[in-house]
Each structure stands twice: as C-alpha cells, then as structure tokens.
Amino acid sequence: MERQEQLQGIGCSRKRKEDPRFIQGKGLYVDDVKLPGMLCGEVVRSPFAHAKIVSINKEKALALPGVHAVITAEDLKPLGLHWMPTLAGDTQAVLADEKVCFQMQEVAMVIADDRYIAADAAELVEVEYEQLPALVDPHKAMDADAPIIREDLVGKDEAGQGKRTHNNHIFTWDVGDKDATDRAFESAEVTVREDILNPRVHPSPMETCGCVASFDKVNGSLTVHITSQAPHIVRTVVTLLSGIPESKVRIISPDIGGGFGNKVGIYPGYVCAIVSSIVLGRPVKWIESRIENISTTAFARDYHGVGELAADKDGRITALRFHALADHGAFNAHAQPTKWPAGLFSICTGSYDIPVAYARVDGVYTNKAPGGVAYRCSFRVTEAVYLIERMIDVLAQKLDIDKAEIRRRNFIQADQFPYQSALGWEYDSGNYAPALEKVLEACDYEGLRKEQTEKRANGELMGIGLCTFTEIVGAGPSKACDVLGVGMFDSCEIRVHPTGSAIARMGTITQGQGHETTYAQIIATELGLSSDDIQIEEGDTDTAPYGLGTYGSRSTPVGGAATAMAARTIRAKAQKIAAHLLEVSPEDIEWDVDRFHVKGNPDAVKTMKEVAWAAYNNVPEGMEMGLESVNYYDPPNFTYPFGIYLCVVDIDRHTGETSIRRFYALDDCGNRINPMIIEGQIHGGLNEAFAVAMGQLISFDEEGNLQGNTLMDYFIPTFVETPHWETDYTVTPSPHHPLGAKGVAESPHVGGIPCFSNAVVDAFAHKGVTHVDMPHTAFNVWKTIHELGLDS
C-alpha cells in the first residue's frame, strides 16, 4: 500500500507537474517566442460582409519605413495558395479573392519590423469595395432570389460533402429509418414539436490564435510555433500545401492558453505568416487580437433545430425526429472527422431507449465567418444533447409528468449495455437510473418541487432544471473517423532510462487538461515508477509520434489507451528480463506494484528500477537492449460518459435576473485517473456552459455587421456571476478501454447548457411556456416575464 502511494499513480489527486512553470511566469506560449530577425504580420480585414474588391493599393503602406511586404490574393495565386482546403472538404480563401464574403475577412497581410509599424501600415492599405447584398438569415439561404455567396462553386453540384441543390447549399446529411419514424409519429398517442436554437457563439480561450513561422532558406526547412490542438495534422497540411517534405516541416505547439475547439482549424493568418517567412527568409509572427479572434477564427453552433418526439400517454418515447439547419458561414470550415458533415449529431437519442429515430441536417452558406467548431464538446454533441434534453422536458410538460419521472421511464437500463441506438451507435456502458436517484436525493428534489409549488402560489419564479445526458467522445475508430484521410488513432512512445526514470511523448497536446500529470500517473501505475520521475512531452512533431491531437475529449480515451498499451509492452519485456535475472521462466514471475517476484517466493525480487538498469547491460540472450515502446492505438469504439445534473434558479420577476441557487453535477467518466483534475475540468466546463446558456451570442445586423466583438460585449463570466459548483460521481468503467476510462472534460459543457435552460424554462412551465431560446440574459428573461404579464 505504501509502495503504491509512493508511485502517485492512477486514482490519486497528485499535484500537477506543469504548475511550477505557470505560477512563476515561465510558461512558453506562442507569443512568448522571439526569434532573431523576427517580423510581425498584421491582417487587413474587410469592413463589409459581402462586397466585390475593386482594387487594392499597397503603395502608401509599402512606403512606410519598416514595412517589408504587403501580400494579397494576387501574390498568393502564383503559388496556388490563395485558397486552402478546410477540414470539411470545402476550400477557404486565404486572402479574399476578388470578393469578401464576411465582415472582417482577411484581405491582405502587412509584414513589418514590429507590431506597431505593422498596425500603422495595415491602416494605409487602400481597398476599394463595391458592396453586395448580404445574406445573414440561414432560413433565407436557399430562397430562389438569395444572393450567391460562393461564385467559385457556381455550377458545382457538391462542395465536398455530397450533393447540393442550391448555390448556398453545402450538404444534406441524414441518418435513421425515416419511413418507420414517420409511421411511428402518425400512430403516436402524443407528439410534441419545438423550434430550438443553438445560437452562434465563440469559444474564446484566454490566449488568442497565432504562430511564429520560420523558414530556413539554407536547409529548406520550416519551423512553426503555433497555437494548435492538432500539430501533426497541421504538419501534414503544410506539406500538402507547400510541397516541403514533412521531414523538413517542424510544427511546435508549445504551452497553449486554452483551446476549447478554437485551435483545431488552420487559419488564413497562419498560412500568410508561413508564406511570408518562406518568401522573406525571416521569421514572421502573427498573433490575432481578441477582436479578430471573436470575429473570424472559429465560431461554434449556429444550429437551428426542430425537435419532435412521439410517445405513448405514459410518456414512453416511441420515436424521435430531429432536423437542424446548420449555418456554416461563408466557407465550410466545420471541424469534424472528414466523413461526418454533422459531426456526431446522431447521438441525439441521448440516454433514452428510443426504438426508432430519424435525424437530418442541412448545411448552408451565409455571409458570416466560417466554422463551426466543437466548443468544448465532441463534434455537434452539444447541439444533439441540447435538443433531446430540451425535448424530453417539453414532452413531460405536455403529459403533465414529472421531469425526473419521465426520464426514469425512458432510460436505457443497465442490463441493456452494450446498447445499440436507433441511429447506429453502440453505447459501451452506462448506469443512469441509480445516478439519477443519487442526485435527486442529494438535492432533496421532492422538497424542491414542494417549495416551487409554494413559491408559484405567491407569484415567485423558481425553476428546477434536470439534465440526464450521454456523450460520445474519443474519436475514434479509424474505420469510422479520419481527418483528411488520416485515421483518428493516437499514440504514445515511452523510453525508460537506465536509472529508472522515463520520458514519454504523445500525439495529443495539452491546453490546460493536465496531460503532463495524468499520463505520468498512468505510466507510474503500469510500470511501477514514480510519476515524479516520468517526463511527458507533447506538441513537437520532430519528437512526438504522429497523433491526431486533443479535442472531442479524445486524449484519455485514445492517447491514454495508447499510453497504457505502450507501458504494458514495456512491462512484458521487463518481466522477461526479471525472469532472466532471477533465473526462472517468465511464467513463474508475478507483478507486485513496482517489482517482480518469483511466484511463491516474495523474497526473490527485482524492482522495475533494477530491471531498467539490466535492460541496458544484462538481457536474456537474443533480446534487444533498451526498454522502450511506441503504441498507435486505434480504439474499437467511442466512449460514452454520462452525467446527471440538477440546477435550481430563482428569477426576479421585475428585472428578469436569474440567480443560480444551486448547481449539482454528477459525472460518470468510468475509472478516474486524477480526481482533483477531473473536478477542475468539471468546474471549468460548467462555467463555459453557464456562459453559453446565460449570455454568449455572436449576433449580426441585416447587413452582416457583427454586433459586438470585444470582451466588453461578448460574455465571459467573471468571478461575480459564476455560481458555486457542487460535484459528485459514479464509476461505470468502459469495457473496451484498457484503463476502463472515458473522456470527461466536455461533459459539463454539453450537459450544463440544457440544464440551465431547463431550469429557466421550468420557472415558467406553470404558465404554459415550453421553450425559450438561449441566451437567458436578464433582458431576454424579462421579455418572457413581460409577455406573460408576471411583472405587474
């Protein structure tokens, strides 16, 4: 036991190994990189959402002392780099090619000695525009007279995601048995239908996006420090675009100041900085401002949904039919496994045993920034979970069944796992019903409902929100998931040094999740070495094995599995060495925390440290020296974490202000590697859910002008608004993961958003309100109050 504790391995809340540098200001983020002779890039952006470019005059900018270049699409054309591929099979203008399609679109990049001169010069670039009518409302995108946004696609009947039927149509994707679903709706005892919006929002990590590109003309090699959640894919894309072999492209994701999906894609600023460095032969830094970040790089959501459920009179759901109109902006830069135009939206049957279902998503272009990314969620899982978790409440209200009770009646039962969902997924494990009861008891649900009844009688507004969600994370089996043709495996390489410390490198990249700590804990337990002595490195494509990166909660499900498997290969070799040292056969050896001993003879012992030393000087005949392994793990399935959340709100019926009285989150992510880190991830995800549900919105006027793109306007909760979080857990291991673990960090965002909305709507349920769109700002809530006459 004592030896186990000394390892600080799986299951312990050890302190984070990455913290000492961060608390002393010694982190290395991209903007901290300063190379000799480095220049700065500044992007010239469009003031209009839709306009022809009549002319660009660079003369005044170029005349400014300290300016080295002004690049436009015309300069990139000879290199074939004025357009670039997106992860979704579309192409995106690197710099606007004859027209601009969204406000703040990249038109030119100025390269200058420093950021001040670059900013001055950007002001001096003269661009003449001829404004075109803008298309802002996705519901009007496919109208006969809708403005054509993408002239480059006119006459093309597909944009990388199957057949399209209109100039502004990107794709139609559907799944499920439509006919059987329609029949189930026709014969249903009860049906409900609701229009449900997931508005356009932005992940806004504290660090914006940027890069430092450095091309060495002598060696023909390119090094890029970049804010990327997927450095290896960036390297492949850079090679495909530039023709520089991958062996001469080095992508480094150093410390990343939060990602939340914002740093998955490849952005025009990166491409321009790289091209500028190649042309000028000097390092070029491009760091976006917060305004540029909110305006251009990677919005999320903008899913205009219609949810329908069919049920019997007891509230048992008999069919589900969901549709979403997806606004992808001017270019389809959706972050997704390439074959999934609507991501994993088909997880929308949720935690419920629904016999038949049909889901369809139509993607359209509008004059807005391109996207969308998975903002702290697995691809489109937030949108899917929001729909089902709102709709089950709508059904409960229609049938006057309690919102906890209707969930009990529809849950997939523990003995149904592995569970085949109507839309094609195999849920690995779950145990929903007892977890729900645990939360209801912890929060005295009955007491809360009683209190609510009393409050309602006094005209007070109190809401109780429940959310009982299932996620799908850990993309994914390579037969189902790839990015630009690269399967979505992940990797780990471990090298044990002679004196028993180790270094391990992964294809994932931490952005605050604590990989340097948790991966070390996995190896500590698997190899019996102290996690203090295990160094974890990620993000440098020259040293780390190829991997697909960190997003969609895939690090523990895929990278963590690779880590365990690589460690197990090492332990198997170590067992042979131990047997050799102890002069017995390997089958006669047993593993015991940090050492091998001979079965039946606990005194005949070789510790892992002793074995590590022997691996470099005394191995069995015919065995290679050394103690290292690399594993590329292709998961057999996704993992399906779940959670049961409860939120209590009190609403001021005069101001519309919503106060979060209580938020209780029970999460089940299977076996837990570091409970302290898990709790921290849950807190953060809940806060991002709070942000989305209660205030975040990227909105536009009719001309496509973005209404608010600074932190003055865009809501990031401060200490003051943020509620207190209560956390809890159950453990239902994943049967297919080597450690029984599942992803966790996105669950609180995915499950939190509908929980807040359900609480707010519940406050008005007795007045017949079944749905109100997010965000639930005081003004929006007040409008509901006022319409119902509750403020008089």
Partner 1 sequence: MAKTQVSFNLNGQDVDVLVEPRELLIHVLREQLQLTGSHIGCETSHCGACTVDVNGQSIKSCTMLAIQAQGATVMTVEGLAAGGELHPLQQAFMDEHGLQCGFCTPGMLVRGYRFLQENPNPSEEEIRSGMAGNLCRCTGYQNIIKSIQTAAAALNADTGSQAE
718 lines the binding site for partner 1 (CB under 8 A): yes
- Positions 471 through 500 that interact with partner 1 (CB under 8 A): none
Q: Which residue in the set 449, 568, 683, 736 belongs to the binding site for partner 1 (CB under 8 A)?
A: 683
State yes or no: residue 667 binds partner 1 (CB under 8 A): no
- The Cα 231–Cα 233 span in angstroms is 6
User: Backbone phi, then psi, for 441, in 5-degree steps?
Assistant: -70, -45
Which x/- pattern over 621-660 shows residues binding partner 1 (rule: CB under 8 A)? Answer: ----------------------------------------
- Work out which of 3, 15, 163, 313 binds partner 1, going by CB under 8 A: 15
107, 44 contact by CB (below 8 A): yes
Give whichever of 24 and 792 is closer to partner 1, judged by the CB atom: 24
Establish if 35 lies at the interface with partner 1 (CB under 8 A): no
Exposure class string for 215-241: b at 16+ Cβ within 10 A, else e: beeeeeebbbbbbbbbbbbbbbbbbeb
User: Which of 6, 11, 35, 115 contacts partner 1 by CB under 8 A?
Assistant: 115
Q: Name the minimum Å distance from CB 279 to partner 1.
A: 24
How far apart CA 92 and CA 471 sit, in angstroms, is 31
- For residue 673, what are its two tokens? 């590697």
CB of 481 vs partner 1, minimal distance in Å? 26
Is residue 779 near partner 1 by the rule CB under 8 A? no
Query: Which among 188-196, 411-419, 582-590, 672-680 is the span making contact with partner 1, rule CB under 8 A?
Result: 672-680
Smallest distance, partner 1 to C-beta of residue 196, A: 26
* Interface with partner 1, residue 11, by CB under 8 A: no
Looking at 716, 731, 786, 787, which residue binds partner 1 (CB under 8 A)? Answer: 716
Residue 300: C-alpha distances to residues 590, 628, 780 (Å): 51, 41, 21
Pick one of 4, 6, 11, 16: the residue that binds partner 1 (CB under 8 A).
Answer: 16
**Per rule CB under 8 A, is residue 724 in the interface with partner 1?**
yes
Closest CB to partner 1 among residues 96, 682: 682
Pick one of 23, 144, 154, 218: the residue that binds partner 1 (CB under 8 A).
23
Q: Which is nearer to partner 1, 25 or 600 (CB)?
A: 25
Instruction: Answer yes or no: are the C-beta atoms of 353 and 724 closer than 8 Å.
Output: no
- Please check whether residue 683 is in contact with residue 747, taking contact to mean a CB–CB distance below 8 angstroms: no
Does the footprint of partner 1 cover residue 576 (CB under 8 A)? no
DSSP strand pairing (210-216 vs 221-226)? antiparallel
Taking CB under 8 A as the rule, does residue 722 contact partner 1? Answer: yes
Q: Which of 147, 257, 498, 636 binds partner 1 (CB under 8 A)?
A: 257
- Comparing CA positions, the residue from 756, 751, 791 lying closest to residue 772 is 756
Question: What 3-state class would DSSP assign to 32?
Answer: helix
Residues 6+ away with beta carbon under 8 Å from 115: 40, 42, 287
Question: Does residue 346 belong to the site contacting partner 1 (CB under 8 A)?
Answer: no
Q: Taking the alpha carbons of 364, 369, 372, 376 in that order, is the dihedral positive or negative? A: negative
Alpha carbon 430 to its chain centroid, in Å, reads: 22
CB of 285 to partner 1, least distance (A): 11
Which CB sits closer to partner 1, 1 or 23?
A: 23
Distance CA 754, CA 477 (A): 28
420, 543, 699, 710: which one contacts partner 1 (CB under 8 A)? 710
CB of 681 to partner 1, least distance (A): 8
Separation in Å, CA 225 to CA 250, 273, 657: 8, 11, 44
Q: Does 539 bind partner 1 (CB under 8 A)?
A: no
Residue 25 in contact with partner 1, rule: CB under 8 A: yes
The binder of partner 1 chosen from 140, 290, 323, 398 (CB under 8 A): 290
Q: Which of residues 496-535 bind partner 1 (CB under 8 A)?
A: 511-514
- Identify the residue among 283, 341, 635, 684 touching partner 1 (CB under 8 A): 684
State the nearest-atom distance from the C-beta of 540 to partner 1, in Å.
Answer: 18
Smallest distance from partner 1 to CB 291, Å: 8
Spatial separation of the C-alpha atoms in residues 198 and 342, rounded to whole Å: 14
Q: With respect to partner 1, which residue has the nearer C-beta, 724 or 789?
A: 724
Task: Select 265 or 685, whichever has its Cβ closest to partner 1.
Answer: 685
- We find the least distance from the C-beta atom of residue 254 to partner 1, in angstroms, to be 11
Cα pseudo-dihedral 89, 104, 199, 688, rounded to 10: 90
Looking at residue 355, what DSSP letter applies? S
The binding track of 687-706 with respect to partner 1, each residue x by CB under 8 A or -, is: xx------------------
Task: Please answer whether residues 431 and 729 qualify as being in contact, where contact means their C-beta atoms are separated by less than 8 angstroms.
Answer: no
Taken as a whole, the chain contains a residue count of 792
Q: Give the x-and-dash track for 203-232 against partner 1 (CB under 8 A).
A: -xxxxx------------------------
Based on the shown chain and the rule CB under 8 A, indicate whether residue 568 belongs to the binding site for partner 1.
Answer: no
The least distance separating partner 1 from the CB of residue 206, rounded to whole angstroms, comes to 4
Asked if residue 298 binds partner 1 (CB under 8 A), the reply is: no
Closer residue to partner 1 in complex, CB, 346/681: 681
Question: How many residues in the shown chain lie near partner 1 by CB under 8 A?
Answer: 59
Per residue, what are the HEC states of 423-452? Answer: CCCEECCCCHHHHHHHHHHHCCHHHHHHHH
CA distance 60 to 74: 18
| Closest separation in Å from C-beta 237 to partner 1 | 24
Maximal C-alpha separation, the chain? 90
CA–CA dist 327, 334 (Å, integer): 10
- Choose the stretch contacting partner 1; rule: CB under 8 A; options: 174-182, 198-206, 318-326, 427-435: 198-206
Tell me the β-bridge partners of 492: 506, 631
- In the complex, least distance from residue 15 CB atom to partner 1, rounded to whole angstroms: 6
Query: Which residue numbers are catalytic?
Result: 229, 376-377, 746
Judged by CB under 8 A, does residue 709 bind partner 1?
Answer: no
Chain center to CA of 224: 23
* Closest distance to partner 1 from the beta carbon of 686 (Å): 6
Q: What is the C-alpha separation between 92 and 82, in angstroms, rounded?
A: 9
- Those residues with Cβ within 8 angstroms of residue 398's Cβ, 6 or more apart along the chain or in another chain: 190, 192, 770
The answer to whether 205 and 300 are in contact (CB under 8 A) is no
Given candidates 3, 20, 420, 787, which one binds partner 1 under the rule CB under 8 A? 20
Residue 664's region, left for phi above 0, alpha for psi from -120 to 50, else beta, is beta
Reading the block at residue 341, the tokens are 């135009």
Rounded to 5°, the CA angle 396-398-400 comes to 60
Q: Identify the CA nearest to 418 among candidates 641, 669, 643, 735.
A: 735
**Count of CB atoms within 10 A of residue 378's CB?**
29
The Cα-based distances of 96 to 56, 309, 347, 380, 451 in angstroms read 11, 44, 37, 28, 58
Minimum Å distance from CB 722 to partner 1?
5
Is residue 585 near partner 1 by the rule CB under 8 A? no
Q: Which residues contact 411 (CB under 8 A, 6 or more apart)?
A: 351, 352, 353, 432, 433, 436, 468
Name which of 256 and 759 has its Cβ closer to partner 1: 256
Residue 18 is a binding residue for partner 1 (CB under 8 A): yes
Q: Which stretch binds partner 1 (CB under 8 A): 159-167, 350-358, 475-483, 679-687?
A: 679-687
289 forms part of the interface with partner 1 (CB under 8 A): yes
Residues forming the site for partner 1 (CB under 8 A):
15-16, 18-29, 31-32, 34, 115-116, 204-208, 255-258, 260, 287, 289-291, 511-514, 676-677, 679-688, 710-712, 716, 718-720, 722, 724-725
